[in-house]
Amino acid sequence: MAFTSTPPRTYDVFLSLRGIDTREGFTERLYQKLRWHKFDVFKDDEEPQKGIPISEKLLTAIEESKTAIIVMSPNFASSTWCLDELLKILECMEARNTVLPVFYDVDPSHVRHQLGTFAEAMVKHEQRIKVDKVQLWRDALTKLANFVGWTSKDYGSEAEVIDEIVEQVQNKVHPAITLLGSTEKLVGMDSELKKFIRLLEPEADDVCFLGIWGMVGIGKTTLARLVYERVSHNFQVSCFLANVKEVSEKQSLVHLQNQLLS
């Protein structure tokens, strides 16, 4: 029997960008927001040099990432480095549907049909690079434009775009199927879970203390764990302590305190 191994997923997000367009602005704010939500992000901070192929480090990082956010900006296609990065991302993630494009200050149709700055870039590439390779890049750009993503001009503010991207990353990295399995298998749990999420208001800038009371065996701990899994990504630090009474009786409160502080 043959077995195929998949590479370990070291990063939640691979962030692909054209530095001269967005490194100091949009992409940096997006990166900081993702990090605030505790996502492990690989940001391509290497400055591409003319004539030097994409590094092995970047290729490996793409292979080891769960999702990729591609910030498609006006000068993206002028970099052969960025275009090779795009090819690798599609190779690794297209089948998993974890490619997330952001069209920043560009029209998706310009990317799809290589118009404007994308047309200019492709013409320059064709003058010094094999046509077959350029065609691969063209096909990749067309393919990327067909993914569901975000177009910056459609939003009132960058913050709104970034919030939606972070939410989508959460859905890709931590889908609704939880560590306990699908909530569909837990009778009556979905409706209770929705009530608790509304009560907690995880996006609110406030402190909330919520108690769950009931007889033994009705699912209090299960519900608490589900709530934790759904909202923990909203916080920089989170911890779930289960069976507090039993653990404190067997191993003392100090053990629980150490677990919490660690």
**pLDDT (0 to 100) of residue 254:** 84
Domain boundary among 134, 152, 171: 171
Whether the Cβ atoms of residue 11 and residue 27 lie closer than 8 Å to each other: no
**pLDDT (0 to 100) of residue 201:** 67
pLDDT over 70 for what percent of the chain? Answer: 83
Give yes or no: residues 159 and 196 share one domain. Answer: no
Give yes or no: residues 136 and 209 share one domain. Answer: no
- pLDDT value at 6 more than 70: no
Catalytic residue at 47? no
**pLDDT (0 to 100) of residue 174:** 72
78-84, long-range: CB within 8 Å, 24+ apart, which pairs? 78/18, 78/117, 78/120, 78/121, 78/124, 79/18, 79/48, 80/48, 80/125, 80/129, 81/48, 81/52, 81/53, 81/54, 82/16, 82/17, 82/18, 82/48, 83/137, 83/140, 83/141, 84/53, 84/54
Domain boundary among 154, 171, 188: 171
Give yes or no: residues 143 and 212 share one domain. Answer: no
* Stretch (H or E) spanning 12: strand 11-16
Whether the Cβ atoms of residue 67 and residue 100 lie closer than 8 Å to each other: yes
Give yes or no: residues 152 and 184 share one domain. Answer: no
Count of domains forming the chain: 2
pLDDT over 90 for what percent of the chain? Answer: 44
Give yes or no: residues 148 and 187 share one domain. Answer: no
- Has residue 1 been placed in a domain? no
Give yes or no: residues 192 and 248 share one domain. Answer: yes
Domain boundary among 131, 147, 171: 171
Residue 188 tokens, joined: 């009556």
**pLDDT, greater one: 235 or 119:** 119
The CATH number assigned to the domain holding 40 equals 3.40.50.10140
Report the range of poorest mean pLDDT among 62-66, 93-97, 156-160, 203-207. Answer: 203-207
Give yes or no: residues 256 and 182 share one domain. Answer: yes
Give yes or no: residues 83 and 145 share one domain. Answer: yes
Report field, pTM of the whole predicted structure over 0.75: no
Give yes or no: residues 124 and 253 share one domain. Answer: no
Whether the Cβ atoms of residue 140 and residue 86 lie closer than 8 Å to each other: yes
| Domain boundaries, position 219 | 176-261
- pLDDT value at 75 more than 50: yes
The conformation of residue 52, written as its DSSP 8-state character, comes to: P
Cα–Cα distance list, 152 to 75, 149, 160 (Å): 16, 10, 9
Give yes or no: residues 120 and 212 share one domain. Answer: no
Q: What average pLDDT does this structure show over 128-136?
A: 92
Give yes or no: residues 135 and 186 share one domain. Answer: no
CA distance 207 to 254: 24
Report the mean per-residue pLDDT for the chain.
Answer: 83
Catalogue the E-assigned strands of 19-95: 41-43, 65-72
Considering the candidates 56, 64, 85, 184, report the single residue annotated as catalytic.
85
Give the max Cα distance, the chain: 75
**pLDDT, greater one: 220 or 182:** 220
